[in-house]
Amino acid sequence: MCKSGFAWCAALGLLVWAAPPTHAAEPTMHIQMPGPPLQDLMLGAWTIRVTHEPSAAYPKGRVTMGREVWRLGPAGRSLIEEYDEEDPAGPLHEIGIAWWDAVEKGQKVLWCGDYQPSGCTLAPGVARWEGNSLVQTVEADESGKHVVRQEIFTDITATSFTQVLKEGPSLHELKTTTTIRAKKRSVEAPAVRP
């Protein structure tokens, strides 16, 4: 405790707080989940170009723009994705939180979006790294039909990545429904010193 007077103690505290760190750089945080080192390249802000293939909903297909921001959760043990897309029908705002599930040996994902009646949903299954691609495959029965959906993050570099969404009646009959191409906007800002 400082006993030399409030002004002197406050000035000393300000100097200590404002002084540059005595080491060269703050340690870089890494995603604390199993996977290739390139998974850390996903961190940061991205501009996205979203290509929706022709479908019943979009007979001529559609291209939209948006942004994604990827950041670490507490202690790097989770990954938070913020997703915004400027859709002609109205903007989409979504957020996802992924974490390692040791039992299922993959990443569980909680996905929340303004279009979801319940607000959020826990995605079934897990995403797993297959080489340098992160892949999540989900199978379900919907309205009497078997549906397989797959999401793949691939071609991950320090400045870009590609995200591909596929759908079909079986794993061997998947067709691309959406392709998202991301370009890095900025590097994640370092932590602010208290």
Residue 9 lies in a domain: no
In a domain, 164, yes or no: yes
**Residue at 81 is within a domain:** yes
The CATH number of the domain holding residue 84 is: 2.40.128.20
Percent of the chain having pLDDT more than 90?
69
* Residue 194 lies inside a defined structural domain of this protein: no
Full residue range of the structural domain in which residue 48 is found: 31-186
**Is 12 within the bounds of a domain?**
no
CB 146 within 8 A of CB 124: no
Q: What is the DSSP letter of 8?
A: H
pLDDT at residue number 67: 97
Residue 122 lies in a domain: yes
**Mean pLDDT for the chain overall:** 83
Mean pLDDT is highest, among 11-15, 20-24, 84-88, for 84-88
Residues in contact with 118: Cβ distance below 8 Å, sequence separation at least 6, in sequence order = none
pLDDT digits (tens, 9 = 90+) for 89-124: 889 999 999 999 999 999 999 999 988 889 999 999
Q: For residue 30, give the DSSP letter.
A: -
Contacts of 145 (CB under 8 A, 6+ apart): 169
For residue 2, tell me if it sits in a domain: no
Does 11 map to a domain?
no
Whether 175 and 166 have beta carbons less than 8 Å apart is answered as: yes
Quote the number of domains for the chain. 1
